[in-house]
Chain A
């Protein structure tokens, strides 16, 4: 371990309060960062992670105003004395959503952006851009249009645009949020390599379980703007509340052994019948005639009583598949029957009587001046009677625990709350089948488990289907798994039947989790998949 005087970054007693708020966002934070070190900064959303990063990269106080106390030094120099140009060449920041920080239309322009702004000569810019692209192994993307590039590669491009400025400290703000598990594992390996090559990495992430795989040197855990823990990863596992942050399954089992066992989880769904609700018959689909097929001969039936988790890598065709059920897309060959009717002959509005579909991003659908009106929008379109609408709206809002916000504009809520409003908006339509695309994205661990529990345990739905990257969600909630790979159904069956085939999962770019491994191990005793707390009683 290096002595503190060699630290790249030193923070002492840092407190910041935004101009527009009463409570400080972070309070009395102190730590330092060494060369070649990966430090994990963990905590639930709203814990002050983003604020802390803004203090380090200079956005606070240059852009965001408020009262700042304490010291931040980079290479021994106070950040407040450094210009943005100096600071940006010492501290690089990768923001959460790669899509929202790429400003160039083409890869070359994007990566060159920072150096162009520094006014360097064209020759030097080109040389450094080429070098960085080579380092990240994406030289082949150089002349591609950014818009048509996949999420994982987009993130590498955004990272290239930062590394090209040769920072020695790298801040990464929830870099895994928009990646599928296979890509995030690749991204994590890359961050480790950056640190091994001498860069100091501060990695903000709440997916603690996954980050531990690259063995961060230290962990800083924040709660409500205060540092609760600073030290090696092992120690954190004993301190952090496993109900709030997702920890490795074995840790949870160990710690939950002495705790109260969780209440029994009892899904409320009708008994299975033979008559399918949705029937995909040899469905093929291509977006444009010149493109290859996105779906390739899918056969699939959804029956009452099904709780289906759809797993698969980004771009495998999961969302395309689900959009067919609702008729948002019509098959280019084969047919989709919704309760026996060809979706080609139904309007989307007619299909919406049967299927409620929650889209991935809530911000893309919320528009009304109050939550109440937002929830009534769907049922009104479906011409439900007013009394029923009133009853359904109040039932839906209770389900997602947002009763106090009924009169609040949905756009003023936090992202997590908005997501729940978007789910409630579909619940209020009282459809028979519920479909959700990434229901847990951007949600706190505690929150999403709580509303998933409620939704599955409430009567009303005949079948539920959700797309997810989170294998644990499939393990805990599904009674049927659909594995999609390259536009085809690679596996379809009970969780145990599908998820025990690790080789096939990996071939489909789905990675087993610690919870899955533990469940498979204990399956002879349990006979079904359970959440980590419930497994505690089976472990000796």
Chain B
């Protein structure tokens, strides 16, 4: 069995460890470069990073292409678009040429005749070529700009280099599973989702960001004036994406523990906060289209910003916040009560002192509440201020009180957040301690550690430190006799402890057993050598009988 010390040699990948690729620097350049850049079989090399950055560049190209169709933007930034196009083509061309050079090292083409020719005719290489060909084509042949732009759409096809392997992995892992289970694997985080689930999540997150940015920009009149139709199209596409996601989530949620019942389970899922947010993200679109003839529903557009809340699904911050609020609720409610009391009291006193002097500003107590909150919260807009000596004196006292009273909830939240994070880290430490009971971190345990480490935003060195500490804690209290002898022998301090424990056991044995019979048997049947017997006597002193 693997032990804790063997972890480094035979370990499952832990957070941060995956970027240390073991590539022999003495390999031939081409093989080394392939291993370093493109080999999907070497964990920790730059293959994923290359795919990720190329994907980002493709998406950026897509956006550039969209904005090029807006004359106002294109005409003002023509040079930037041109240089970005050149930059993209340069990167894509370099990628194509490097892949062509390294084709003989690729398992798919290496070992066959004319590997580079085979690479050129492979679907991925054809797509890569089509992505850059129009750029070079225009240098030779006069091509219509619109036609050229449409050809540049082919760059999107490069995403298949990432998508197709992910789909293949998904199909393989989900073979034999039902359609609904596959939908569930795609939409919900789990062991069957794989890379395709991550891509799905990234796709949704991208659309959330794009649609929220669009909503924000829509409020800028000059931008909205120019991009009105583009915003309409963008919103419709975003709603289509989010609607499909919502339907998939509701349909497949019955595969999720706790939601198995066909109707009630789905209803229960629909009531969960994250799914309610999903629903709110698409609702304004349908309401506005259906009802805009009857009512002015423009105010609903601001609710599209709720889409930003969809991102909370991918972070634990909101659940931590909820836990903090629930845990600290008695103290928070007490602080809120004191604040409320102080606000009403301040507003009443403000009205009492200032009403006669400023009847327009301190007309009544409800109106004075605005002034009270602004004063107690140390905001102090200055649009309403006391002018009577009594009013000013009271304001001095209340402003000082306000600093303390209003700071209480902030301090509470801060402490509670910190405490919650510490608790979660302590829990992870305890889990690590339990995991190391057998001295090894299994792949399942590594998956749990990785998930928790990402959730708690722990860096590699922090995880390493926690594992090391848990290991030391366990070893310091563990019964060393339960460990293999080579593990004990690995550390002299452990060996000494073990030796002492064994001596103690031998002494106990000598006390509890009949010493005369022991010696007779040992001598008669030659069960112990003379040196073994001498050692026994030495351990037990000379009170035992002599031969």
Q: Do A and B come from one complex?
A: no
